[in-house]
Amino acid sequence: MVDHFVQQFGIKEDKDISSNARALRKLRTACEKAKRVLSTVSKTTIEIDSLYDGVDFCSAISRDEFDEINSDLFEMCMETIEDCLEEAKIDKGMIDDIIPVGGSTRIPKIQQQLQEFFNGKELYKSINPDETVAHGATIQAAILTGGKEVLRDKVNHGLKVHDVTPLSLGLETAGGDISVLIPRNSPIPTKKEHIFTTNSNDQTSISIQLRACESGCFLGKYDLIDLPFCSRGIPKVHVSFSINIDGILSVEAFDMTRGNKRDIHCKEISSCGGGLSKEEIEKLMHELEKYEVDDEENLKRMEAKNSLEDYAYRVRELARNARVAGKLYFTEKRKIERSVEQAIDWLDNEQVQFAKASEFEEKLLELKQVCDPLVQKS
């Protein structure tokens, strides 16, 4: 949508705003609001005061136009669903319910394509798309802790939520071959076992490297030592991979040719190639505690910023409303518009990213002191 309106502005005003960060930010905000409006109406208008070089911008867009300029993105959504079904090795006819996740699933075209893809099956809309992930996390927490109340709820009855491994996990053996032990999308907790052997005569040790198969990422390695002097292929090394409910991978190995009398020494997975040492983990934990305070401050800052932005745009719309504006003197209407524009310009300034929550709250208070008496009068 942003690209579309950048072109529209260029055609109307013969000005290129594609490299102007402030103008693009204003346009992106307006497009986001228009996208939401088009989920409920067939046509809307984008209006931006002083978009670029003091030039106002106004342009209409219909739902059909919105669908057309975003058609490639909508098709990508369907391709993702096809990939998910293929990886899960299930047919779309086996799907019981389709649960939309995320605000963009409110777009009528996406809903239409979903229903067509699943042969006209109705979407499950009893759960707010913005809350679906949190709802699933709640069910998973109830399953893990043995909670009864959440699972007895008629909406949740019969639902099961599984964590899965995002990548296949395996071992790199002689010759650079990778043997997959835990396939991608395996539900966790899980445990897989495999038997390995030596590649040459009188080989007394095996070095096996752990890999995340799709990415090729090196996770670490372990060495099995003190193997008996035997011809190749005779020693049997039992290797097991297990992932617990917290997603932590454990690897164990022992020499089967000596029975249970002696376990093969298995070195701790090294921190080479991406693993973390105990000291590094402790350092990260300390940093996490430190940043928790910053996270709270950022949350307060965002809430204050959103409050100011919502109030400013709401009051501007009220002032423009014919019924309300008719009850205001021209000077009063201009006073509201001027105050609101000052607040919006301040929000659009690049330096606002460094502003604190108290500054947003102060700006909101100043704006309310000007606008509230006049709006209440109307």
Q: Report yes or no: 211 and 249 within 8 Å, Cβ to Cβ.
A: no
- Intervals of the chain under pLDDT 50: 260-274, 322
Angle at 243 between CA 237 and CA 245, to 5 degrees: 155
CATH node for 281-377: 1.20.1270.10
Has this prediction a pTM greater than 0.85?
no
Give the model's pLDDT for residue 210.
75
Query: Across the beta sheet with 217-224, what order do the strands follow?
Result: 178-182, 169-172, 206-212, 217-224
Give the model's pLDDT for residue 173.
65
Give the model's pLDDT for residue 89.
82
* 3.40.50.1110, 3.90.640.10, 3.40.50.720, 3.40.30.10: CATH of 2-69: 3.90.640.10
Say how far apart CA 87 and CA 373 lie, in whole Å. Answer: 60
Positive or negative, the Cα torsion across 373, 375, 376, 378? positive
| pLDDT, tens digit, 9 for 90 and up, residues 90-133 | 888 888 888 888 878 889 999 999 999 998 889 888 878 888 88
| pLDDT, tens digit, 9 for 90 and up, residues 269-294 | 333 344 555 666 667 666 666 655 66
Give the model's pLDDT for residue 274.
46
Say how far apart CA 17 and CA 47 lie, in whole Å. Answer: 16
Q: Report yes or no: 129 and 106 within 8 Å, Cβ to Cβ.
A: yes
Say how far apart CA 269 and CA 143 lie, in whole Å. Answer: 31
- The second-level CATH assignment, the architecture, of 169-273 is Sandwich (2.60)
HSE-up of residue 165 (Cα within 13 Å, Cβ side): 26
Give the model's pLDDT for residue 269.
39
Domain positions in the chain: 2-69, 169-273, 281-377
Say how far apart CA 376 and CA 373 lie, in whole Å. Answer: 5
Say how far apart CA 196 and CA 172 lie, in whole Å. Answer: 11
